[in-house]
Amino acid sequence: MPVKNRFAEMQDEITEWRRDIHENPEILFETHRTSALVAEKLKEFGCDEIVTGIGRTGVVAVIKGKTDTSGKVIGLRADMDALPILEATGLDYASKTDGAMHACGHDGHTAMLLGAAKYLAETRNFDGTAVVIFQPAEEGGGGGKEMCDDGMMDRWNIQEVYGMHNWPGMPTGTFGIRPGAFFAATDVFTIDFEGHGGHAAKPHDTIDTTVMSCQAVLALQSIASRNADPIDQVVVSVTSFETSSKAFNVIPQSVQIKGTVRTMSPEMRDLADKRIHEICDGVAATFGGTVKVDYHRNYPVMINSEDQTAFASDVAKKISGQCEEAPLVMGGEDFAFMLEERPGAYILVGNGDTAMVHHPEYNFNDDAIPAGCSWWAEIIEQRMPAA
């Protein structure tokens, strides 16, 4: 089961789709052009059912096998949205939209799943039903959750779900995966300290929010170093610090700090949430000020199911000859919401020696297309073999 010859034959066509999507990036839920393009292609392929508007701008299509004695239904998911980044690749097909860029390879994911859908609709060499899922707003919008909240899993009786992401630094067309926790929960916080502002020459007449906030920034680092078991993963990062005054000689009335928390287990997530509140309350009380902590739970930990991961790894090994154990990733991935509803697995496909994702010089490697398409197609054909 090496790379399917059909995808080698289709590579130029799929590359054209990918580069067209790359040239016309759309952010979050504003994937109107991309969603319309996807729906149009799926119609051309002869899919049995195509539904738009799932999760606002998501697209779902059904492809039935030659038979359905198994009653199995498997979902395959790709993300469609771009990032608010100014592209610096200099490519002939670089973004035509200022400030938007496919800097994470979602253009490649969408094109590869379209390629797999075309093949599956042509051959239908499986016993069951394939559901292809094209999702908006992975980059911070929670589009996966919105599609699930729209009842996608129950509406099409999806029993298992599989996703894929390209990965710079891995040899092109090879794969990496791991069971269990894979991508981190990505929470965000906003902390507002309130004191009593005044003249910098009379600090004793103030409650200094700058000193207060600086103490909190340092103390928050103790969550990882002194509260968490050293073998547990937790990253607390303060990424923004803004005072209510811009003058040299004014002690500000208020300070706002923002940041992220990344964890690999629900227990560590709860601990970080609890300790941030406790630390900030304690610091504010110590200095005589007040504080408001807004802790927002964003994407949950993405957890690969054991059985589906083993199966996905076997398929990958047969395609490329290798499937490495991937490292833990402290970035977030909203495919986690789909894996909370159904068992499944998420795999990495090598993008070669390219710029890292979310970099203005990143570009999806079109040479990965045959391997990626083959993996998705084989997931369907091997998990639901023809009767």
**pLDDT tens digits along 287-342:** 999 999 999 999 999 999 999 999 999 999 999 998 999 999 999 999 999 999 99
The sign one gets for the Cα dihedral 193, 196, 198, 203 is negative
Q: Report the domain count for the chain.
A: 2
C-alpha separations of 42 from 35, 65, 114, 371 in Å: 11, 16, 7, 21
Q: Are residues 266 and 301 in contact, defined by beta-carbon separation less than 8 angstroms? A: yes
Query: Does residue 175 share a domain with residue 266?
Result: no
Residue numbers in the chain where pLDDT is lower than 50:
1
H or E stretch at 120: helix 106-123
Does residue 171 share a domain with residue 67? yes
Phi, psi angle pair for 126, to nearest 5°: -155, 165
What pLDDT, on a 0 to 100 scale, did the predictor assign at position 2?
63
Q: What is the CATH number of the domain that holds 291?
A: 3.30.70.360
CA proximity to 292, closest of 194, 188, 209, 214: 194
Contact 361, 326 (CB under 8 A): no
Tokens of 291: 């504080």
Residues 178 and 190 in one domain: no
Q: Are residues 218 and 313 in the same domain?
A: no
| Amino acid 15: pLDDT | 98
**Per-residue pLDDT at 6:** 86
Domain co-membership, 262 together with 313: no
Looking at the structure, tell me whether residues 141 and 173 fall in a common domain. yes
In single-letter form, the type of residue at position 101 comes to M
- pLDDT value for 5: 81
The tokens describing 240, both together, are: 């923004």
Quote the pLDDT of residue 336.
98
Helix intervals (H) in 241-358? 266-287, 306-320, 335-341
17 and 110 fall within a common domain: yes
Domain that holds residue 168: 5-182+301-383
pLDDT of 3: 63
User: Which among 299, 328, 359 is the end of a domain?
Assistant: 299
Q: What is the DSSP string of 71-119?
A: --EEEEEEE--BBS-------TT--SSTT-B--SSHHHHHHHHHHHHHH
Only one residue has tokens 């016993």, namely: 127
CB-based burial, 300-329: b 16+ in 10 Å, e otherwise: bbbbbbeebbebbbebbeebbeebbebeeb
Based on the domain organization, do 263 and 147 belong to the same domain? no
Helix (H) / strand (E) element for 122: namely helix 106-123
Are 34 and 168 found together in one domain? yes
Query: Of the residues 250, 283, 299, which one is the last residue of a structural domain?
Result: 299
Q: What is the DSSP-derived secondary structure letter of residue 174?
A: -
Domain with residue 378: its CATH number is 3.40.630.10
Q: Are residues 130 and 18 in the same domain?
A: yes
Q: Which of 267, 299, 331 is the last residue of a domain?
A: 299
Q: What is the pLDDT of residue 54?
A: 98
Beta-carbon contacts of 100 under 8 Å, excluding residues fewer than 6 positions away, are 25, 26, 27, 82, 83, 84, 85
For the chain, give the number of residues.
387
Specify the DSSP class assigned to residue 247.
-
pTM of the predicted protein model? 0.94
Query: Do 64 and 176 sit in the same domain of this protein?
Result: yes
With both helix axes pointing from N to C terminus, report the angle between 5-23 and 369-383 in degrees, rounded to the nearest 10: 120
Both 217 and 268 in one domain: the answer is yes
